Amino acid sequence: MNIAIEEVSACRRRLRIEVPANRVAEEVSRVTADFQKHATIKGFRAGKAPLSVIEKRYEKEIEEEVKRLLIPSAFRDAIKAKNLKVSTALNVEEVNYAKGVSMSFSALIDLEPDFSLPDYKGIKVKKADDSVTDAEINDTIDRLRQQMADYKTVEGRAIQENDLAVVTYEGQLDGKPLIDLLPNAQHLAKNEKFWVMVKDDTFLPGFTKQLIGANAGDSRKIDVTFPADFPQEDLRGKTANYDVKVEEIKETVLPEFNDEFAKQIANITADELKMRVTANLKMQKDQQAKNEHVKQIFEHLGTKLNFDLPESSVQNQTRSLIYDIVRENEMRGVPSNVLEEKKQDIFANAQSAAKDQVKLGFILGKIAEAEKLEVTNDELIAEVSRIAAQERIAPKKFIKQLQENDGFTSIRDSLLNRKTIDFLLQSAIIE
Per-residue pLDDT of 19-60, as tens digits, reads 999 899 888 888 888 888 877 777 777 777 888 887 888 888
Q: Is the pLDDT of residue 101 over 90?
A: no
**Signed CA dihedral, 142, 144, 150, 151: sign only:** positive
Alpha-carbon Rg for the chain, nearest whole angstrom, is 33
Q: Phi, psi (5° rounding) for residue 330?
A: -65, -40
pLDDT at residue 264, rounded to an integer: 92
* Helices and strands in the chain: count of H runs, count of E runs: 13, 12
Q: How far apart are CA 151 and CA 197, in angstroms?
A: 12
Average pLDDT, the chain: 91
Ranges in the chain annotated CATH 3.30.70.1050: 2-111
What own/partner pairs with CB < 8 Å and gap ≥ 24 does 153-157 have? 153/248, 153/249, 153/250, 154/216, 154/248, 154/249, 154/250, 154/251, 155/216, 157/215, 157/249
For domain 279-430, the CATH superfamily is Trigger factor, C-terminal domain (1.10.3120.10)
DSSP assigned state of 188:
G
* Mean pLDDT, range 296-301, rounded to an integer: 93
Per-residue pLDDT of 261-294, as tens digits, reads 999 999 999 999 999 999 999 999 999 999 999 9
Q: Is the pLDDT of residue 237 over 80?
A: yes
Ranges in the chain annotated CATH 1.10.3120.10: 279-430
pLDDT at residue 82, rounded to an integer: 95
CATH placement of domain 150-253: 3.10.50.40
* High-pLDDT (> 70) share of the chain, %: 100
Q: Give me the amino acid identity at 54.
A: I
CA angle 388, 392, 397 (to 5 degrees): 55
Buried b (16+ CB within 10 A) or exposed e, 392-418: eeeeeebbeebeeeeeeeebbeebbbe
Q: How far apart are CA 150 and CA 254, in angstroms?
A: 6
pLDDT at residue 135, rounded to an integer: 96
Per-residue pLDDT of 303-337, as tens digits, reads 999 999 999 999 999 999 999 998 888 887 777 77
Per-residue pLDDT of 363-402, as tens digits, reads 999 999 999 999 999 999 999 999 999 988 988 898 888 8
Ranges in the chain annotated CATH 3.10.50.40: 150-253
Cα–chain-centroid distance for residue 300? 25
Q: How far apart are CA 120 and CA 398, in angstroms?
A: 37
User: Within 13 Å of residue 28, how many CA atoms lie on the same side as its CB?
Assistant: 23
Per-residue pLDDT of 104-125, as tens digits, reads 999 999 999 999 999 999 999 9
User: Within 13 Å of residue 9, how many CA atoms lie on the same side as its CB?
Assistant: 12
Q: Is the pLDDT of residue 298 over 90?
A: yes
CATH placement of domain 2-111: 3.30.70.1050
Q: How far apart are CA 429 and CA 417, in angstroms?
A: 20
**Signed CA dihedral, 258, 260, 261, 265: sign only:** positive
pLDDT at residue 100, rounded to an integer: 67
